[in-house]
Structure formats: C-alpha cells, structure tokens
Amino acid sequence: MSRSTQPSFRTGKILRAALYSVLILFAVYYLLPLFVMLVNSVKTLDEIRGGNMMSLPEAFTIEPWLVAWSKAQIGVEPTGLSPYFINSIMMVVPAVAISTALGAMNGYVLTKWRFPGDKIIFGLMLFACFIPFQIVLIPMARVLGMIGIAGTTSGLVLVHVVYGLGFTTLFFRNYYAAFPDELIKAAKMDGAGFWRTFTRILLPSSGPIIVVTVIWQFTNIWNDFLFGASFADFDSMPMTVALNNLVSSSTGVKEYNVHFAGAVLAALPTLIVYVVSGRYFVRGLMAGAVKG
Amino acid sequence: MQPSLPGKAQATLREVLPRLVLSPSLFLILLFVYGFIIYTGYLSLTDSRMLPSYDLEGLGNYAKLWGQRNWLIALQNLAIFGILYIAICSVLGLVLAILLDQKIRGEGILRPIYLYPMALSFIVTGTAWKWFLDPGLGLENTMHLWGWESFTFNWIKDRNMAIYTVVIAAVWQSSGFVMAMFLAGLRGIDSEILKAAQMDGASRWSLYTRIVIPQLRPVFLSAFVVLAHLAIKAYDLVIALTNGGPGRATELPATFMYSYTFTRNQMGVGASSAVIMLAMIASIIVPYLYSELRERR
C-alpha cells in the first residue's frame, strides 16, 4: 500500500500532542471492555460485588477460569464450557476445510474455465453471502431432520459449509481473476489438464488467499450463534451458545467472574488468530466488503 | 488430423469437467438458498402455526404481521439502531482513519487495537457490555466509587434508552473495521493530486473536504452496504446484551422472527417477517452487487 504524501504537520507540537492523545484515548476505549473482562475474571466474587470493576484484583485467583472451563453449570449439567469448546472445534475444522476447498475449485472454474452463464452463477453465489439467515431457518430445520442429522455437529458442519460457500468462492474467484491467463494457456498447450493446471500452477501460488479464506471462515463459524442456537441440541452445542446459556441462566448466584472467564475463553481462539495473522484477517474483511 | 474416438471423449470430458466440479456447490446454493427462500415465501402464505402447513391462506400473515405492535416496535428499533449505527460508525471510522493517516508513530500498534473487536463473537461483545453497562456493577458503580456520586447511566435498564446501548456495543465492535476501510481508501488516493492542491494554496481543511472525502465516495458506499446488512441481520448482540428487553424494548426483526417462529407457534407470521427482512436486504444488496459486477467487466 503506497502511503499518500500528506502535507507535513508544522502547526506546532501542541497539535501533534493533541492528535496522539485523541488516538490513545480511542485505543483505551477499544481496550476497556477486554480489560474489564480480563481483570474481573481473576477476582473473587466478593471483590467484584464490593469493589470497582476497573481496579486490578486485590487477591488474584485462577479459580473462575477453572470453574468456567470444567465446573460451571451449563443448562442442567455442571460440565463447564470445555465440552462445548470441543464441539466448536469439531464443527469448525471440517466446515472450514470443506468450504475452503470447494471455494478454491469454484474460483478456479469461474475464472479459468469460463462458460456461458458463469456470471449468473457467480451472482447467485454472491447474493447468497448476504441473505438474512432467518429466511432459511425453518426449511433448514426440516431438511436436517429429514436427512437424520438434526441436532448433530455434522448438521452444523453442513449448514456452515453451505452458507460459507458464497464467500469462499468470492475470495478465490477474485484472487484467481488477477492470475495471468497466459500461464494457464501455456500449461494447457503443454497438455496439462484441468486438475494438473490447478494443482501445479494455481495452488502453489494460492498461499495468501488460502490463509485469508481459512481465517475468515474460522472467525465466522466460531463466532456464529444463530445456527448453533437453532440447530444444535444439548450435546452438539457450540461455544457461543453455551456461553450465552451460562451468562443468561437465571438460576442461582450470578458468578460474574466465571462469566467473564467464559467470555474470554470463547473469544480466545479468534483473538489468537487475529493477533498472529491480523494482516490476513483485515484482507479478508476488505475482500468481503469491497466486492467485484 | 482427425482426433481418435478416445480423444473425442477426452475432449468432451474436458469440456464438461469444469462444470461438473462447480455443480455440487451450485446444487447446494440453489437448494439451500434459493429453494429455501421459495419454501419460506410459500410458508408465509399458509396457515402454518407450530408446524409447517401447506394450506394457502393468502396474505393473511402479512396483514397480521403489520397489525402486531411487536413488529412495529421491531421496525422502529431497527430504524433507530440502523441509522445511528451506520452514521456513528462511518463518522468515527472516517475520523480515526484521517487521524491515523497523519504519519503517526505507532500506527502499527494502534490500528490492530482499533480493529480487534471485529474478531470477537457478538455474544462475547454482548456479555462484556452487559456487565459494563450494568448500573450496579459497571460504569455507574465505578463512577460512584471514584467520587462522582450523582453519575447515572442506567440505559440498559431503561425501556426508552435500552436500544441505544445496543448501538454503543455495536459501534464498539464495527467502527474499527470501517476505519480500516477508510484507511485503505485514503492510502489509495493519488498523492499527485494532493500535492497539486497544496501548491495552489489549499488549506488542510479544504484539502480534506474538497478533495479527499469526495474521493472516498466508493468507500462510503461499501461501508454503508456492509453496515446496513449487518444492522438488518443483527440478532446475537441483542440476545446477549439485553435479550430483547427490558420488556420488548430492544426487539429487532431478527429476534421477532425467531420468537414468533420457534416459541410462539406462529410460523406463518415468522416466515412473513423473514420475507420482509430478505426484501430489505435485497433492496440494498442487489443494486450494489449489480453495479459492482458490471464495472468489473
């Protein structure tokens, strides 16, 4: 990205200081909720109730994290969030892998093996990215029941593959559209077929877009709530749904410290991905926002 | 040279193979997206209650829907939420992007801090803000402890103000993303134009208002489309933050659809509300996609 040359700022150090203060103030604003979650997840319940949520813990305790992970009551079972964390992983990994693989092949066909009507197909897939999922909830519940995977992790995998296809196809299509056609033509001349051209020419240079797509899908599927709440039953509930059950359950004492620890646990996988490869995350967001 | 028969067959396969590879995805999309849209559209015209029924009863559900106070509340809330969410995110995103574009030292640290909420689940965001805005536990309590006794901030418990807390949490989550979009737009502006304008003696303010911001029009459009469709789909955040309450004060179309369909046994009405939601999104997305796809040819 080329930096536009802005006129140099010579209006004085005061203005510069003000600029930095404003920017830092905003950083505080964005960090504050995370800070509150973290500090209160290591306080005792008494300290939270009696104290200031902005202050650092007086007596540090790891207990809320342990409770959130393995003892907290989710619904009726005192299992903690760990089984649901695992559910989410079991759901996310295949869903991301399948939707990314399909998206890569779709993008390849739609750019390098064009045929009449391919634009319409792409348009149909693209629009599918934006539909409000409320429009598919009722029939999806029935179809999952009909094929016997209602309330299972496999059912959720299917749902996430289907509704992720539009985006994965979009990502790969736009990436491959910029890939020089001459190389493809040359490969075809040399007798490379459909698969050879794909695996030898395109795939080796697809690293960045695969990372972008995997991160995008991982974040979206891990963070999904609507499908999990609609189609999972108790044994296949993903992390977000379990967290919401934990936080909004009206029985017993509200253990805020455990809620905070649970929220951080639910956020951790996507946060780690973001910290490790934020650049690709941003690229995915941009590609998802700026179409075409 | 005449191609041999196996060669011909191979050529045919070569022709068909790409379409064959595309067909499972196309099948899934046609069935699970467009087929389901038709199915839900059909249900919205039937007398479905707890279970789908296929007896058509015309537009009765739509009449019922528009006669529901809850639906009107949901639409009014969506209007308040949508307008404020889009407006504040756009202004905040633009201001932050312009400020960050002043050759800031530490931009590489600040930018990811502004953007990280976008990586979180709305359920996490909702949980964090729920306790943060809770008068007894969060900000209000903190201000009291810090000595500002008269400070009150109980919007989340106030029927008339609760919808604004949804705006606060949603803006926190999405504004950094809008900032990133504007920043990318700013970095894409031709620096020659800016230099020329400066030579002509344009002030800093007019440089931005006359040249830079008008050039960002496509970014405004993209940001609008993304934010508007997120607003119409908003569901998780409300569930985690207020669960539609207090009372029905933060009901949105998405929560309305869910409760009417799955807990109130009014599937026909729920389906008709889903159709309205789709129509709202389509009216924004279809023209946008159409123009974007045409430009690219």
Q: What is the pLDDT of residues B233-281, one digit of tens each?
A: 889 999 988 888 788 888 999 999 999 998 888 889 999 999 999 999 9
Amino acid at A180: P
Collect all residues of chain A within an 8 Å Cβ-Cβ radius of residue B187. Answer: 1-4
In a domain, B63, yes or no: no
State the distance between the two ends of chain B, measured CA to CA, in whole angstroms. 37
Q: CB distance B37–A135 less than 8 Å?
A: yes
Query: Taking a C-beta distance cutoff of 8 angstroms, is the pair B286, B278 a contact?
Result: no
Query: Positive or negative CA dihedral for B272, B275, B279, B285?
Result: positive
Q: Which domains does chain A have, with CATH numbers?
A: 13-71 (no CATH), 82-289 (1.10.3720.10)
In a domain, B42, yes or no: no
Among A73, A169, A59, which Cα is nearest to A118's?
A: A169
Q: What is the pLDDT of residues A192-234, one digit of tens each?
A: 888 888 988 899 989 889 998 999 899 999 999 999 999 998 8
Among A108, A121, A101, A123, which Cα is nearest to A291's?
A: A123
In a domain, B28, yes or no: no
Q: CB distance B181–A290 less than 8 Å?
A: yes
Contacts of B197 (CB under 8 A, 6+ apart): B207, B210, B211
- Whole-prediction pTM value? 0.89
Q: What is the pLDDT of residues A234-278, one digit of tens each?
A: 889 999 999 998 888 766 778 888 999 999 999 999 999 888 887
Among all residues of chain B, which has the CA nearest to that of A258? B127
Q: Is A77 helix (H, G, I), strand (E, B) or coil?
A: strand
Query: Taking a C-beta distance cutoff of 8 angstroms, is the pair B128, A256 a contact?
Result: no
Residue range A149-161: mean pLDDT, rounded? 93
In a domain, B161, yes or no: yes
Chain A contacts in chain B segment 64-83 (CB below 8 A): none
Q: How far is A102 from chain B (nearest CA, A)?
A: 7
User: Is residue B35 within 8 angstroms of chain A, CB to CB?
Assistant: yes
Predicted local distance difference test score (pLDDT) of residue B1? 44
Q: How many domains does chain B have?
A: 1
Q: How far is B171 from chain A (nearest CA, A)?
A: 10
- CB nearest to B114's CB, from A30, A133, A273: A30
In a domain, B237, yes or no: yes
Collect all residues of chain B within an 8 Å Cβ-Cβ radius of residue A157. Answer: none
Q: Which two tokens stand for residue A137?
A: 């909830």
Mean pLDDT over the full length of chain A: 87
State the distance between the two ends of chain A, measured CA to CA, in whole angstroms. 19
Tell me, what CATH number does B223's domain have?
1.10.3720.10
Q: Which domain holds residue B267?
A: 69-295
A-B contacts at Cβ under 8 angstroms:
291
- CB nearest to B254's CB, from A30, A126, A134: A134
Q: CB distance A138–B52 less than 8 Å?
A: yes
Tell whether omega for the bond before B246 is within 30 degrees of 0, i.e. cis. yes
Predicted local distance difference test score (pLDDT) of residue B2? 47
In a domain, B256, yes or no: yes
Contacts of B31 (CB under 8 A, 6+ apart): none
Q: CB distance A248–B138 less than 8 Å?
A: no
Q: CB distance B274–A132 less than 8 Å?
A: yes
Collect all residues of chain B within an 8 Å Cβ-Cβ radius of residue A260. Answer: 127-128, 131
Q: Which one of B13, B16, B20, B29 would you mutate to disrupt binding with A, by most A Cβ within 10 Å of its Cβ?
A: B29
Long-range Cβ contact pairs of A37-42 (< 8 A, separation 24 or more): A37/A260, A37/A263, A37/A264, A37/B128, A38/A260, A38/A264, A40/A256, A40/A257, A40/A260, A40/B131, A41/A65, A41/A68, A41/A257, A41/A260, A41/A261, A41/A263, A41/A264, A42/A257, A42/A261
Among A273, A290, A287, which Cα is nearest to A176's?
A: A287
Q: Which two tokens stand for residue A253?
A: 């004492």
CA distances to A292, B181, B183, B190, B226 from B187, rounded to whole Å, are: 20, 10, 6, 8, 20
* Residue located via tokens 């007894």: B136
In a domain, B152, yes or no: yes
- Packing angle, helices A13-40 and B122-132, rounded to 10: 90
Q: How far is B89 from chain A (nearest CA, A)?
A: 13
Predicted local distance difference test score (pLDDT) of residue A5? 43
* B3 burial level (CB within 10 Å; 0-12, 13-18, 19+): exposed
Give dist(CA A77, CA A73) in Å, integer.
6
Among all residues of chain B, which has the CA nearest to that of A178? B296
Per-residue pLDDT for B70 more than 80? yes
Residue range A154-167: mean pLDDT, rounded? 94
Give dist(CA A31, CA A262) in Å, integer.
18
Chain B contacts in chain A segment 63-92 (CB below 8 A): none
CA atoms within 13 A on the CB side of A291: 26
Q: What is the pLDDT of residues A110-142, one digit of tens each?
A: 998 888 888 889 989 989 989 999 999 999 999
Give dist(CA A61, CA A52) in Å, integer.
16
User: Is residue B98 within 8 angstroms of chain A, CB to CB?
Assistant: no
In a domain, B5, yes or no: no
Q: Which two tokens stand for residue A234?
A: 């108790």
Cα Rg of chain A, angstroms:
24
Collect all residues of chain A within an 8 Å Cβ-Cβ radius of residue B254. Answer: 132, 134
Amino acid at A55: S
Q: How confident is the model at residue B107 (pLDDT cuts 50, 70, 90)?
A: confident
